[in-house]
Structure 1
C-alpha cells in the first residue's frame, strides 16, 4: 500500500462524493496503490450514509464512525491507527484542499526522504478578519515557541511517513501541532509545500473564533511539555528550592529577631512573616517533591521502553537463528 488518505469529517454529505471521485481520478492517473479512510466525527446529517455507499462500491474506501463529536484530533488518531500506507495523507472533507497536490507531496516523502510535509495555503479564500489575520498571528506564535519554521500549522493537507503517525499520539486538540509533536519525537526532516486553497463549495465552516483561543492554550501546553516534559526537576525543583529559601529566610529573620533583638516582643505566631515563611516552605517542599516524582516516572518509562526494545531485538535474533 503506497498511500493512505485519512479524511476527518463532520456534516459534509454534499462534498463527499465529489471529493471521492476527485481523489480516485488523481490516484488512477498516477497508478497509486491507495486506500481512502473517512472518519465520521459524529455527523448529524447523512454523511455516514454516503461513506457507507462509497465503501460498498469500492474496496479502496473504508470508514470509521464516532457516535458523537469527539474532535478532529481524535478522528485523526483513529485514522492513523487504521492506516496501512507507507505514506499517509490527511486532508479536509470540505473540498478546500486540492487532491492534485497529493502526488508531489508523496514524492517528497518517498523520494526526498522528508518525514513530514505540511501544506501552506499561501493564498486563502477565507474571511480576512475572522480567519486570515488570527491565523497569521497564531502561526507566528507557533513558530516562535516551537522552533518549527512552518508558515501554516493548521493546514489540513499534510503528508507523513508511516513511522511518524505510528509513533506520535494526537489527543485533545493537538492536531494543529502535529509537526511540533513529530519534532519532539525526534523527526527532524519537516518540509513545507505551497498548496492551492479553494473556497468552500458546500455548507459552512465548523470552526469558530474559539478555536484560536483553544489553539493558543494548547500552544502554551505543548511548549511547556516540550521544554520541561523530559526534565521536570529543572522547573519544579528550581521553583521549590527558591520558595523554600524565601520561607527559610523569613523563618531565620523571625528567629534572630525573637532571640536577640526583641525577646519580649510579640509572639512569632502573631506576626505575618511567620505565615509567609510557613507557606513558602510548604509550597517549596511540594514543588520539589513534584519534580522528584516526575523524574522517577520518566526514568521508569525510559527503563520500560529500553526493556521493550531489548526484548524485540532478542526476538529478532532468535528468528534469524531459527531461519538459518
Structure 2
C-alpha cells in the first residue's frame, strides 16, 4: 500500500464527507493505493455515524472510536499503530489542510528520501495577534531547544516513512513535537514543505491560547526526556552528589571550626545555634533526595510496562 492517511477528529461531522471526497479524488488522479484512518476522539456529534456511512461506500476508509476524549496525541498513536502504508500522512479533519498537498509530500519521502516532512503554513487565514505572535515565539523556542529547524511545528499536515511512526511513541501532548521525537529516535533527515492553508469552513477551532502555554511546558518535558529520559541518574545523580558534597564539606568545616575554638579557648556558640549548620544539613538532605530520585528513575526504566493509554469503543 502506498499511503495511509491518519486523521484525528473531534466533532467534525460536517467536514467529513467533503474531506473524504477530496481525498478520493486526489488518490484516484495519482493512482495511489491508500487507506484513510479516521480516529474519532470522543466526538459528541454524529461524526462516528458519518464515518460508518462513508466507510460502507468506500472500503479504503477505516475508523477508530475512542470511548471519550483522550487528546490528539493518543489519537495519532492509535492511528499509527493501525497504519500499513509505506508513507503515512497526517492531517486535520477541519478542511484547513489540503489533500492536494499529499502527492508533493509523498514525492519528498519516496524520491528525496526524507524520513519526515512537515508542512509549513506560511500564509495563514487565521493570522490574528493572539495566534500569530505566540506561535512565532513557540516555534522559535522549539527550534532553539530541539535543534530541529522547522518553521511550523504545530502544522497537522506531515508525511512520514512507515518505519518512523513505528519507532516513535506519541504520548501526553507531544504531537506538536513528533519531528523532535523522530530526531531523538535517530531519524535525522527531516524536511519542510510550504503548504496551502485553508480557511475553516465548518465548526469552531478546538484550540485556544492555552495550547501555547502547554506547548512550552511540553517543550521543556521533551528536552528533558530527549537528553536524560534514558539516563535520569546522569542528571539527578550528578546534582545530588554535588549538593551532598557541598553540604558535607560545609558541615565538616563548621564542626572543625567549633573544635578549633574550643581548643584555643575562644568564645563560641553551639553548633545547633549556627544557621549555616542547618543550611549545610538541608543541602545534604536535598542532595540525597536528588540522588535517590535518579536511582529510582533508573529502576523504573528497567521495570516499567506499557500502561493502558486509551479505550477504543469500536473500530471498522
* TM-score after normalising by structure 1: 0.89
CA distance in 2, matches of 1:295, 1:61: 43
Task: State the partner residue of 1:24.
Answer: 24
Report deviation, 1:182. 0.2
CA distance in 2, matches of 1:65, 1:127: 32
Report deviation, 1:157. 0.3
Higher helix share: 1
Task: State the partner residue of 1:172.
Answer: 172
Q: 1:93-147 CA distances to partner (integer Å, 9 max, x unpaired)?
A: 0000000000111111112111100000010111421212211111110000000
Q: 1:20-63 CA distances to partner (integer Å, 9 max, x unpaired)?
A: 00000000000010001100011111111110101111100010
Matches within 5 A, 1:85-234: 85-234=85-234
Task: State the partner residue of 1:278.
Answer: 281
Q: 1:287-322 CA distances to partner (integer Å, 9 max, x unpaired)?
A: 233334545666x58xxxxxxxxxxxxxxxxxxxxx
- Paired residue secondary structure (2:15): helix
Q: Tell me which of the two structures has the higher relative contact order, counting C-alpha pairs closer than 8 angstroms and 6 or more residues apart.
A: 2
Matches within 5 A, 1:222-301: 222-262=222-262, 265-295=268-298, 300=302
CA distance in 2, matches of 1:249, 1:123: 60
Report deviation, 1:68. 1.1
CA distance in 2, matches of 1:62, 1:136: 35
Structure 2 residues not aligned, in runs of 5+: 304-316
Structure 1 residues not aligned, in runs of 5+: 302-324
Report deviation, 1:242. 2.1
RMSD: 1.6
The size of the alignment, in residue pairs, is 300
Report deviation, 1:67. 1.8
Report deviation, 1:152. 0.5
